[in-house]
Structure 1
Amino acid sequence: MEGVRVVDLTAVVMGPYCTQIMADMGADVVKVEPPAGDNARYVSVGPAPGMSGVFVNVNRGKRSAVIDLTTDEGKATLRGLIAKADVFIHSMRSRAIAKLGFTYDDVAAINPAIIYTNCYGYSRRGPEADRPAYDDTIQAESGLAAVQKLLTGETTYVGTIVADKVAGLTALYATMMALFHRERTGEGQEVEVSMFETMASFMLVEHANGRMFSPPPGPAVYPRTVAPNRKPYPTKDGHVAVLIYNDKHWKAFIGAVQPAWNSEEYATLEQRSAQIDVVYGLIAQTLLERTTAEWLALFGELEIPVAPIQTPDDLFDDPHLNAIGLFETVDTEHGPVRFPGVPTWFSRTPGRVAGPAPELGAHTADVLAEVGALSEPQFDAVDGRVDGGPQVGLP
């Protein structure tokens, strides 16, 4: 993406994760922040105020410009950036971006070839337009929390901000598709990505199941993933994750461990799937008989998918991840930062961690100079705010 300029008005994780990947692939991402900065700057630990680990990771390699969009001068500066940009992406609610005067029609009037990506909680085309959304509420509304209850017996969230990240990846591929169309035709366009619709589609990949047909032969749920016994199996001294699923793996397992299960009752994937929780329960009882190391060794020999249980901390020391060079250390003014880097590989155009995350407003002067702005905001060294004009956040 070298040579592509992105004007980024997103905050927290969904939009910044999308544009972080663009930056890692070479794009010039100008992060436009309000005077107080992106809220993600303050949500977790970090080496300095306003530099939380979450913020630093999803905003690496970007340039931060503080622009007060409540002022005419700030709006003029943003228009100057738009005129030279390839992508404009924001995560404001539709009425908020309209109030500021930066709808697609406003932006396309300045730069008709621009790709304009809206990151919303809910599509503005539906009755929930402008309703606020967060990862937790979208996990609940998309069916994920209910599916967790089927699996664990408790209505709960999963332990990662999956809605934010899936929506961020969706915003990335949607924007790239629009850029590809522009490359072929020269036409810019507007793109809309909303968390609720994205997660509803994501959840229904497998869970639509019987509800897709008329009449429905079954409910909207995929039984295997919600079977109560689908969980890491206890062993004699810990746990192990293993999926003895298809006919090849099943025959290898029972041949080596449980020959007595070689019966018509469990002979095929279809038969086992119809009673999947029973099968999981039988496997669970068997895996209690040996240690984790013994099972890892045996399943490895049998080429049955198996894995140890690791924590997020363990990933930093994982031999495979380190062998492929996933982690990249970047020197910053707060010391070295070891980033989880680009997970994809390209033979001709590899990406890399684009650089450190920016301090709030670190590139404001450069950005203003690039668009020919007449003055630059003055920072209060105590709290990082910009003097002059009211503070505005990203709604």
Structure 2
Amino acid sequence: MRPEVSSVSNTRSRKPNRRRRGTGSIIVRDGVYYGKWRAAGGHQIMRRLGMVRPRGTRQGLTRTQAEAELRRLIGADVRPTTAGGDRRTISDVVEAHLEIKQNAGLKRSTVRGYRSLIDAHLVPYFGALPVDRITTNDVAALDRALREAGLKPQSRRNVLGLLGAMLTTAKRRGWLAENPVADYDKPRKARSEPDELCFLTLEELEKVLREMPDDPLGYVERTLVLTAAMTGLRRGELLGLRWKDVDWEARKIRVARTFVGGKEDTPKSASSRRDVPLADRVAGELQRLWEVTPYQAEDAPVFTHPRGTGLPLDGSAVSKRFQLALHRAHVRRVRFHDLRHTFGTMMARDPRVSMRTLQGWLGHSDPATTAIYAHFAPNDLHAAWIQEVFTPLSVGRAIADASESPL
């Protein structure tokens, strides 16, 4: 019989080599590279390196780029800084800028959006280049790369605007003399027609509701979809609802909080904190949901998993199951957010609902945002004006018809 030592030896030979001491380590969490290392004092440091680059794209960091960024951070940590050698990179500026914004009360969801843009476009592009060496030509080259990657003018403006704000922070910290973005002409807003609104017709909505699964979770999500379409609440606002926010007697829902990314937060803006009418059908479905849910306390979330922990449903999972219902109903693909547009367009078509009223229901701070629904609103008065102007033409035609002799 052959000894088994050789198999153990082979197994050991296949074991990956350990990283050299002092080189740190890289871990991946939720699609993001993080670097870990021990500082000179012995305490452990973990810093965000950037988003993992999806296969077949140019956005995010490759493993090699993540390793390079980790080496740079470790080197910056152990290297003594002097007044003339304090060279900062985009990664350094990111943390300083976002800390300022968070301290100023910027919402967590907005900070996540900024980080997404930074990790996808800015950190991979500028890498370890010191910010005081970024020139206007570099900004132009970045804009060109964004355009070649297929980003629309407004998306490029967003990236460049964020870069400009970050470099303003760097300038205030004394990390560079001038902001190169200030001298660059950002892409102009496209003058094309606005994107066509996507929404469901009432017939399509009923089809989707019928295709929601006939089980406890399906019942919760069917009520969620109906409430979204008949109140116009955003997904995060729906998941942030508590039973105390449903005013059965006054027939309205109070929007007081949101639940996004697993965390509760305040509404998007001051105007987002609002009351929305509660139609009879929605009130009835919510009443039936309250009767069967195990979470009936005033402070309990309305839309929870029937066999869960009492926390609100996961927003991403809700959207995915909504897509499955669309597929089963043979209804064209729309986003969960388009249920909000369904409410907006249906209400705009009712002559009794003014744009001002609709703005309040949707929680828009800017009337221009609500104006996207304006062309759905009927205007019988304008049609009457046109008819009145052309009345002589109609009368003249009637006289001519009356004077003609039949053949």
Common fold, TM-score beyond 0.5?
no
TM-score (norm 2): 0.22
Q: Which has the larger radius of gyration?
A: 2
Q: When you count helix as a share of all residues, which structure comes out higher? A: 2
Q: Which has the higher strand share?
A: 1
Higher relative contact order (CA 8 A, sep 6+): 1
Question: Structure 1 length normalisation: TM-score?
Answer: 0.22
